[in-house]
Amino acid sequence: MSIQWKGVMPAVTTKFTNDDMLDLAMFEVNIKAQLEAGVHGIILGGTLGEASTLSTEEKSILIQETVRIANGKVPVIMNIAEQTTKGAILAANKAEQDGAAGLMMLPPMRYKADARETIEYFKQTANATNLPIMVYNNPVDYGIEVTLDMFEDLLTSCPNIQAVKESTRDISNVTRLKNRFGDRLAVLTGVDTLALESLVLGAEGWVAGLVCAFPAETVAIYSLIKAGRIDEALAIYRWFLPLLELDINAKLVQNIKLAEVATGIGTENVRAPRLPLIGEERNRVLQVIEEGMKNRPTLPDYKSLELTV
């Protein structure tokens, strides 16, 4: 399946049972809720997916299950977050074998590679797979920035590098990327609290976090913006912002899983060393979620909108 790098692509959580096995039944409930809301792709194995705690076998199971559930409706994309170039190539090839339609790729993990090393890491991996790739550019959390000049080199050498998950937190970087690369590089915002702003500035899509609990509201904001109905999108976004801020937090996984419980499409089980929230920290998050649920907006018929932007 080819990928149009646009629209809402949830970075989905991984569901676990009480005895720390994959909870494929609840995982399917959530994926079906995403599809029903009209998302445009599913991304597995990101930070929200607790990828660092998953075995290679578990990652394969998740890809295969998601491909089955999606049944061709949307592309399934696997995140690659490896410490070595060899490991990244192996992970990319395994994802392709398991049925993934594309990859999201972080720079090398743990070791802070310089520009030359980072470029070579992406090139070798990209040239070893047929899958299209979205580079995940998040220097705030992962310590390595893929600069415009680095993208220039990569786009010249690797035609399957087609998109960027823009998470620098510098909102003007959306415009810099569009000015420099035009349609050659699709831009998807990766920061929930900058999503509306990025989409208005021309980002093609939104790799979202709180979508895991609120898929319809997320897709509605995207669709309204792309239909030119900014005021309506802004009204929903203003309601959504306190919830979206749960994603900009070291315990985003626990936060978002609590929100999934509130909307009936998840559990709060996490994999150690993460632990469920307790005490005042838990109460603060629940208060945000409860306020959001109490004031949840009525959505327009966003699925029938003609998207013109």
Q: Tell me the pLDDT tens digit for each residue of 235-246.
A: 999 999 999 999
What is the average pLDDT score of the chain? Answer: 97
Q: Which residues pair with 43 in a beta bridge?
A: 11, 77
* pLDDT reading at 1 higher than 70: no
CB burial of residue 106 (10 Å; 0-12, 13-18, 19+) = buried
Per-residue pLDDT tens digits for 230-272 = 999 999 999 999 999 999 999 999 999 999 999 999 999 999 9
User: What is the 8-class DSSP label of residue 48?
Assistant: T
Task: Give the start-to-end residue ranges of the domains of the chain.
Answer: 7-304
pLDDT of amino acid 2: 78
**Phi, psi angles (nearest 5°) of residue 162:** -120, -15
d(CA 9, CA 5): 9
Would you state the pLDDT for residue 123? Answer: 98
User: In the Cβ-directed half-sphere of 77, how many Cα atoms lie within 13 Å?
Assistant: 31
CA 138 – CA 115 distance, rounded (Å): 14
The residue whose two tokens read 């991996």 is 125
How does DSSP classify residue 183?
Answer: G
Tokens 């307790």 -> residue: 278
Residue type, 107: P
Helices marked H in the chain — which ranges? 24-37, 56-70, 85-98, 115-126, 139-142, 148-157, 173-181, 195-200, 215-226, 230-244, 252-263, 279-294
CATH of domain 7-304: 3.20.20.70
Q: pLDDT digit string (tens) for 74-105?
A: 999 999 999 999 999 999 999 999 999 999 99
What confidence score (pLDDT) does residue 110 get?
Answer: 85
Count, in order, helices (H) and strands (E) of the chain. Answer: 12, 8
State the pLDDT at residue 135. 98
What does the alpha-carbon distance between residue 67 and residue 100 come to, in Å, rounded to a whole number? 7
What is the DSSP-derived secondary structure letter of residue 299? P
CA-based radius of gyration for the chain = 18
Take residue 261 and report the two structure tokens written for it.
Answer: 């419980």
